Structure 1
């Protein structure tokens, strides 16, 4: 399970409209959302710098024949300017990051399970809409040429145009998620696994965050300075609301008979597998960001019956999600990827 961290500011920091950044960040956290800016919104003015003179020179050299190629390349650059970028760090103990992005150690850092975060943004196994990688750091601006578009390594292309920064930023140990589209995105609340509080964060802010995140089974830590050193370590602290009721993000009503009849499952198979479908639906009805179930069917072509459930989601990138289940040797339902 790979963990990465998003640093957030503390009390006393305001945006250009005079609104509290702390309140904004805590609200986004509680609402199970993340904000993905475009490269122009990031704080580094050299973001996305890339030397593409080789591509431009080649297009100009064959301009009589390359009009369409030039348009396609310009369209690609425009696409890169609209892509959402979520910046995280592989390091939660870096004192500079706590100073820059953690409100001078008065803020907090969110711990994400990267695989769960990625799955919540794109769960369509037939179409990859999210990419992630560690940022490359270089003393020179990367050079792009046409070989980047000949292979199948999309990550390398994205790294060249959107994932390389000056060596001066190396201490950030950045991990990036690249998503088609920008702005606020809903995520699976289970992608958040812990909260780290800065060493200067006040107790009332700690209590506030714990109270709005109660029931989610999160781990909490307070950053502490190791005596007579420049190093910080996270020390686990008690969840003040550990006895709170379990957080439920969703609760979908469904009619199993209607869903099965709509999919033309035979009466014989409905009688045989109805209870198994109910078990499957019960395991899914609290899944985050599903609006409703719209069909359930069964595939009997393989050696083992495959129960399939399709749901509408609130996700704008992958609006439909498919869930598959099989039966083990004891006849119990279990979910498969």
Structure 2
């Protein structure tokens, strides 16, 4: 499955780390941009909630998208179309990969036995307004997640400066195809130049 990691290139080192070291950095849940991340509802009291919170804090997340042509993703996560999208190939059956479900509701614990689970599922649900992201997540316990396949393509935002594009082309390995994106203003999408 092809997924995309959108990046600003102002901190080029993190982008190069993905490409050259074949790994992605995974954030703690409480540092993500959704203030409702990791929330849940239970009616079992502080002891139950404490167990859930301990397990919730064990997980780290790397957000990816299945969409390359989404105008908003380029705007929000790639420096207003001046950044890049790194194409990752991850097997769909990978146990660390989860497709995000969009729902108006938080996870609800209705049974006290829920406290013995690992609570990875808390990070597989987001509210509906985030559905444009078409998000998949690597949910793991390590700070870095080793990618199963080498990076083959990097897409340049349509507003990236020619100087930065030239630098990226010169420093990336020859095995990585660099693809310039362009704006299709009629459809409101960002598409590869042909």
- Superposed CA deviations along residues 286-325 of structure 1, whole A, max 9, x for unmatched, are xxxxxxxxxxxxxxxxxxxxxxxxxxxxxxxxxxxxxxxx
**1:133 paired residue number:** 98
Say if 2:9 and 2:15, in contact at 8 Å, map to a contact too: no
Shift in alpha-carbon separation, 1:131–1:26, aligned structure 2, 3 A: closer
Q: Which residue of 2 aligns with 1:332?
A: none
Mapping 1:152-231, distance limit 5 Å: 158-159=120-121, 161-181=122-142, 183-187=143-147, 190-215=149-174, 217-226=175-184, 228-231=186-189
- Unmatched tracts of structure 2, length 5 or more: none
* TM-score normalised to structure 1 length: 0.51
Deviation for aligned residue 1:32: 3.1
Q: Report the alpha carbon displacement of residue 92 of structure 1 after superposing the two structures with TM.
A: 0.9
Q: Deviations over 1:232-260 (max 9, x none)?
A: 21225xxxxxxxxxxxxxxxxxxxxxxxx
Bigger CA radius of gyration: 1
Which position in structure 1 is the counterpart of 2:68?
92
SS of match in other structure, 2:82: coil
Match of 2:53 in 1: 77
- Aligned counterpart, 1:18: none
Give, in whole Å, the separation in 1 of the partners of 2:152 and 2:41: 39
Query: How well do the aligned residues superpose, as a CA RMSD in angstroms?
Result: 2.7
In 2, Cα distance between the equivalents of 1:234 and 1:95? 13
Q: Residue by residue, what CA displacement relative to the aligned partner does 1:209-233 show, whole Å, maximum 9, x if unpaired?
A: 2332213x22332211225442221
Q: Kindly state the Cα deviation for residue 186 of structure 1 after the two structures are TM-superposed.
A: 4.6
Deviation (angstroms), 1:198? 0.3
Q: In structure 1, what is the equivalent of residue 190 of structure 2?
A: 232
Alpha-carbon deviations, 1:258-286, whole Å to 9, x = none? xxxxxxxxxxxxxxxxxxxxxxxxxxxxx
CA contact (8 A) 2:65 2:134 kept: yes
Cα distance in structure 2, aligned partners of 1:85 and 1:10:
20
Q: Once the two structures are superposed, what CA deviation does each residue of 1:171-222 show, in whole Å capped at 9, x if it has no partner?
A: 00100111113x244545x33221111000122222222332213x223322
Is 1:145 aligned to residue 107 of structure 2?
no
Aligned residue for 2:4, secondary structure, equals: strand
Quote the offset at 1:49 in angstroms. 1.1
Q: Which residue of 2 aligns with 1:34?
A: 24
SS in structure 1 of the partner of residue 96 of structure 2: strand
Q: TM-score, normalised by structure 2?
A: 0.84
The count of aligned residue pairs is 191
Within 5 Å, which residues of 2 pair with 1:30-69? 30-53=20-43, 56=44
What is the Cα deviation at residue 149 of structure 1? 4.6
Report the CA distance shift for 1:113/1:48 in structure 2 as closer, same or farther (over 3 A): same
SS of alignment partner, residue 152 of structure 2: strand
Unaligned runs of 5+ in 1: 12-20, 61-69, 119-129, 237-337
Q: Which is bigger in relative contact order (C-alpha 8 A, separation at least 6)? A: 2
